[in-house]
Structure 1
């Protein structure tokens, strides 16, 4: 593993490790945002959730999964899988947390900027997930 690849993965992962930790530890503060998002989803989606699952539980699971997958990405442990998990999690997280299309005028610019930042992070994650293979499998193919 090259030092540059390790450094770039670690820098990318840092956003998810810190963001996931903060979300998991402060889940109650994020409940209103997640509740608003869940209310807008069709029942066929929300109906798949057990009745006893609360928004705070979803936030904690999402946060700790980001910490775990981000740590795996930073350490180079199954980086393709870790980046795929993070990219998949980023979709609902971004839609729930940064809905610039419905934000008040005074918050629209900052919300759009956060949305675009998450899109850029997703691009970096997809670059890791879909990038060239390293290791035994890559050598066998060539």
Structure 2
């Protein structure tokens, strides 16, 4: 959230690093999202920062945690690729620094994916659906057994009624 606020207030410091990535993504955004959506590097940095801030607030407050974690993981990918391209550094110190931050963000990405998959101890939709299907199947089987039993009882009663002279 802190970096989201910082980057929202001052996106200019990230624009040079983000520009190579935003230049490649801008045509895709214009083609698929909306032609009037601004695609300059500064606007995209601000949009990413705002998304990180909102997603961080949602995750911190426990509201919509799974979608928030997934969205934050999605914002981390371009931020990491643009901000810490250690493979482009010739200086060993800068390369090492960017590699450390890249790996840190990779760990955060994994944690966010785990948070997105976490059901907080509640059964997931797949388990619920399977459990409900199994429950329904058992209910139908019980109903069939009961109907057979009652039919046998009715047949016996009818046979007994015919034998007794009236």
TM range (shorter): 0.7 to 0.9
Determine the structure 2 residue equivalent to 1:72: 58
Once the two structures are TM-superposed, the CA of residue 25 in structure 1 deviates from its matched residue by 0.9
State the number of aligned residues: 124
Once the two structures are TM-superposed, the CA of residue 47 in structure 1 deviates from its matched residue by 5.2
Q: Secondary structure at the match of 2:119?
A: coil
Q: 1:108 to 1:57 in 2, by over 3 A?
A: same
Which consecutive residues of structure 1, in runs of 5 or more, have no partner in the other structure?
1-16
Alignment RMSD:
2.5
Q: Secondary structure at the match of 1:36?
A: helix
Q: 1:75 to 1:135 in 2, by over 3 A?
A: farther
State the TM-score, normalized to the length of structure 2: 0.65
Which consecutive residues of structure 2, in runs of 5 or more, have no partner in the other structure?
132-166
State the TM-score, normalized to the length of structure 1: 0.75
Does the 8 A contact of 1:94 with 1:115 survive in 2? yes
Q: 1:27 to 1:112 in 2, by over 3 A?
A: same
Runs of 4+ in 1 over 6 A off after TM superposition: none
CA distance in 1, matches of 2:70, 2:110: 11
Superposed CA offset, 1:30-73 (max 9, x none) = 1111113234x378536537474311111111101100010000
Which one has a bigger Cα radius of gyration? Answer: 2
Does the 8 A contact of 2:5 with 2:53 survive in 1? yes
**5 Å matches for 1:90-105?**
90-105=76-91
